[in-house]
Amino acid sequence: MPVSLVLKACTKSFGLNKDELHDFFSEDLNLRALKNVLMGLAEYNFRKPFVTNFPFMMVWDVTYKCNLSCKHCYSKNSDLKTELSTRDAKKIIEYFAQNGILYISFAGGEPLMRKDIIDIVRRISPYVEEVSMTTNASRLVELACNLKTAGLARVNISLHSLNPKKFMEITGTDLENTVEAGIRDAIKCGLNPVKLNMVVMKDINHDEIDSLIEFSSKTGAVLQLIEFQELENGIEYYEEFHYDLVPVEKKLTKCSKKIIEREMHRRKIYYLESGAQVEVVRPMHNSTFCTNCTRLRVTSDGKLKACLMRDDNLVPLVSLIRKGEPYEALVDAFKKAVSFRKPYWKE
């Protein structure tokens, strides 16, 4: 498909004139994204979900290490005990930068456990549209502003309780005050929107939903109520800890001034009269999300993983880079990972 036809279609579909389109694609990031889309069309044709040659979003588990021991964590029982060196990380960044990947989300383990995390963020941020991170906030007091300066845009923070005793029960640590201070520093340093992830567990923290809503409203954070999942470590505890969020959503509906639904995720976001913003995450059996998912994950030991719910879909990546394999071999690795992407939850 000639590029000129694509550009002509863009001007017609989006109401842009040629000069505006020229200016848009004069930026290297946008041009690489267009190249990614066109290569996806050439390789996979039109299909649903639409597949780009490289994913627009990568979730990168930069470490397996964590300073908390949350009983519900999906990676708690992981066999991964290795992580990429700084040199490996730099090579991955260089590779990502060439191929139209627009969004990087750092995860773990706890990404702030890496001593070089600020350097990694600084190196990747010029090449992508946005860098985000999922963290437990235990080191944000010392790192939040430096991360913002390095190019981190926003954070998702795990916060399952404001009660020190319950926090200790859930995480195995007494860092509740430290985490709360980290949340406030993240907001102060501009890592917005700060989203607070609360995994709701029966007879442990389900009675704290109202207090977390109040806390999020006062701090200016967005609260995400996450239904306990029958996934990895959650399989053992599902019957004991699962708490149905349907009654919670009914209550939220009554006290909301506006409700919107994220189309692909099928998640409702409740804008409460109090000013709080609450999103309910009920990912189980979400076939719409699975069908449209185009993310890939890089594991802490440098493999590509097409689906969080599966462990039979790993494709080596860093080992190819270490061996000095040609660019084409890395492209083939991504193609193989994409070929493993199948909806885990189906209609």
Q: Check whether residue 140 and residue 172 sit in a common domain.
A: yes
Q: Is residue 301 part of a domain?
A: no
Q: Is residue 317 part of a domain?
A: no
Mean per-residue pLDDT, 229-247 = 79
Q: Check whether residue 15 and residue 88 sit in a common domain.
A: no
Q: Check whether residue 116 and residue 170 sit in a common domain.
A: yes
Q: Is residue 336 part of a domain?
A: no
Q: Is residue 307 part of a domain?
A: no
Provide the residue type at 84 as one letter.
L
pLDDT, greater one: 338 or 153? 153
Q: Check whether residue 126 and residue 195 sit in a common domain.
A: yes
Q: Report the DSSP beta bridge partners of residue 84.
A: none
Mean per-residue pLDDT, 69-90 = 74
Give the count of domains, the chain.
Answer: 2
Q: Is residue 329 part of a domain?
A: no
| Of 291, 315, 342, the domain-final residue | 291
| Of 291, 321, 338, the domain-final residue | 291
Q: Is residue 304 part of a domain?
A: no
Mean per-residue pLDDT, 302-320 = 87
DSSP, residue by residue, 269-302: EEEETTS-EEEEE--TT-HHHHHH---EEE-TTS
Highest average pLDDT, of 1-5, 218-222, 228-232, comes from: 218-222
Q: What is d(CA 44, CA 9) in angstroms, rounded to the nearest whole number? A: 20
Q: Check whether residue 77 and residue 12 sit in a common domain.
A: no
Confidence (pTM): 0.85
Averaged pLDDT of the chain: 84
Q: Check whether residue 26 and residue 163 sit in a common domain.
A: no
9 phi, psi to nearest 5 deg? -65, -35
| Of 260, 291, 322, the domain-final residue | 291
Q: Is residue 318 part of a domain?
A: no
Q: Check whether residue 35 and residue 145 sit in a common domain.
A: no
Q: Check whether residue 37 and residue 64 sit in a common domain.
A: no
Mean per-residue pLDDT, 175-183 = 97
Q: Check whether residue 17 and residue 92 sit in a common domain.
A: no
Q: Is residue 316 part of a domain?
A: no
pLDDT, greater one: 195 or 100? 195
DSSP, residue by residue, 221-252: PEEEEEE---STTHHHHHHHH----HHHHHHH
203 has pLDDT over 90: yes
Q: What is d(CA 106, CA 340) in angstroms, rounded to the nearest whole number? A: 22
Least confident among 57-66, 251-260, 277-286? 277-286
Mean per-residue pLDDT, 42-49 = 66
227 phi, psi to nearest 5 deg? -70, 135
Beta-strand runs (E) in 2-137: 57-61, 103-107, 130-135
Q: Check whether residue 91 and residue 231 sit in a common domain.
A: yes
Residue 137 makes CB contacts below 8 A (sequence gap 6+) with 155, 157, 158, 159, 178, 179, 182, 183, 186
Q: Check whether residue 234 and residue 95 sit in a common domain.
A: yes
Q: Residue 15's domain spans which residues?
A: 1-43
Whichever domain contains 178, its CATH number is 3.20.20.70
Mean per-residue pLDDT, 328-339 = 84
Q: Check whether residue 212 and residue 92 sit in a common domain.
A: yes
Mean per-residue pLDDT, 129-140 = 96
